[in-house]
A and B are shown apart, each in its own frame.
Chain A
Amino acid sequence: MTKRITKEFADLQTEPPEDMKVDLITENDLFKWVVTINGPKDTPYAGGLFLVHVILPNEYPFKPPVINWKTKIYHPNVTNDGKGTMCLGFLRDGEWKPSSRMAAALEYVRQLMIEPVPDDAVDPAIAEEYKNNRKQFFKTAKQWTTTYAKP
Chain B
Amino acid sequence: MDSDDDYNSGMSSQEDGFEEELQESGDDSMGEDFEDDEPDMGFGQDKDIMKPRKKAYEVDYRIYRPEEIIEQQDKQIEEVSAILGQPSEASAILLRYLRWNKERLVESYMDRPEAVLEKAGLGPDGGRAPRIEPVPGFTCTICFEDEPGAQTYGMKCGHRYCVDCYRQYLAQKIQGEGEAARIQCPKDGCSRILDSKSVDLLATANLKDRYETLLTRTYVDDLNNLKWCPAPNCEYAIECGVKRQELNKIVPTVTCHCTHRFCFGCTLMDHQPTPCSLVKMWMKKCEDDSETANWISANTKECPKCGSTIEKNGGCNHMTCRKCKHEFCWICMGLWSEHGTSWYNCNRFEEKSGLDGRDQQAKSRRSLERYLHYYNRFANHEQSAKLDKDLYNKTEKKMISLQTSSGLSWIEVQFLQTASQALQQCRQTLKWTYAFAYYLARNNLTEIFEVNQKDLEMAVEGLSEMFEKQTAELSGLKVDIMDKTAYCLQRRVILLEDTAVNLKTGEQTPCGLN
Name which of A33-41, A65-73, A98-106, A121-129 contacts chain B: A98-106
A1 contacts B188, CB within 8 Å? no
A-side contacts of B176, CB under 8 Å = 59, 62-63, 93
Nearest-Cβ distance from residue B124 to partner chain A, whole angstroms: 18
Q: Report if A61 contacts B (CB, 8 A).
A: yes
Contacts of A59 in B (CB 8 A): 168, 172, 176
Of A90, A94, A99, the residue contacting B142 (CB under 8 A) is A99
Stretch at the interface among B26-34, B179-187, B352-360, B415-423: B179-187
Any A CB within 8 A of the CB of B169: yes
In terms of DSSP, what is the predominant structure of the interface of chain A? loop
Query: What chain B residues lie within 8 Å of A63 (beta carbons)?
Result: 172, 176
**Interface size for chain A: under 10, 10 to 19, 20 to 34, or 35 or more residues?**
10 to 19
The smallest C-beta distance from B455 to any residue of chain A, in angstroms, reads 53
Q: In the bound complex, how far is the Cα of B169 from the Cα of A61, in angstroms?
A: 9
Q: Which residue on chain A has the smallest CB distance to residue B185?
A: A97
Specify which chain B residues have a CB less than 8 angstroms from the CB of A98 in the assembled complex: 142, 161, 165, 169, 186
Tell yes or no: A4 within 8 A of B by CB.
yes
Verify if A7 is at the interface (C-beta below 8 Å from B): yes
Return chain A residues, CB-CB under 8 Å to B161. 98-99
CA A61 – CA B188 in complex, angstroms?
12
Which residues of A have CB within 8 Å of B188? 90, 97, 99-101, 104
**Are the CB atoms of B145 and A61 closer together than 8 Å?**
no
Q: How far is the CB of B274 from chain A (nearest CB, A)?
A: 35
How many A-B contacts are there with CB distance less than 8 Å?
45
Residue of A nearest to B186 (CB): A98
From 30 to 48 in chain B, residues with beta carbon under 8 angstroms from any chain A beta carbon are: none
Considering the chains assembled together, what is the distance between the CA atoms of A3 and B143 in angstroms? 7
Interface residues of A in 56-109 (CB under 8 A from B): 59, 61-63, 90, 93-94, 97-101, 104
Does any Cβ of A come within 8 Å of B287's Cβ? no
Residue of A nearest to B140 (CB): A4
Q: What are 23 of the A-B contact pairs (CB < 8 Å)?
A: A1-B143, A3-B143, A4-B142, A4-B143, A4-B144, A7-B144, A59-B168, A59-B176, A61-B142, A62-B168, A62-B172, A62-B176, A93-B176, A94-B177, A97-B186, A97-B187, A97-B189, A98-B165, A98-B186, A99-B141, A99-B159, A99-B188, A100-B188
B90 to chain A, nearest CB (A): 21
Interface size class of B (residues with CB under 8 A): 20 to 34
Please report the C-alpha to C-alpha distance between residue A1 and residue B190 in the assembled complex, in whole angstroms: 22
B425 to chain A minimum Cβ distance, whole angstroms, is: 43
How far does the alpha carbon of A3 sit from the alpha carbon of B145 in the complex, in Å? 7
Report B-chain residues with C-beta under 8 Å of the C-beta of A99.
141-142, 159, 161, 186-188
Give complex CA distance A41, B296 in Å: 58
Residues of B within 8 A of A1 (CB): 143
What's the least CB distance linking A60 to chain B, in Å?
Answer: 10
Closest Cβ of chain A: how far from B192's Cβ, in Å? 11
- Chain A's closest residue to B145 (CB) is A3
In the complex, what residue of chain B is closest to A90 when comparing beta carbons?
A: B188
CB distance from A13 to the nearest CB of B (A): 16
In the bound assembly, the distance between CA atoms of A4 and B168 in angstroms comes to: 15
Expressed in whole angstroms, the Cα–Cα distance for A4 and B187 within the complex equals 15
B144 to A93, Cβ gap below 8 A? no
Residues on B with beta carbons closer than 8 Å to the beta carbon of A104:
188
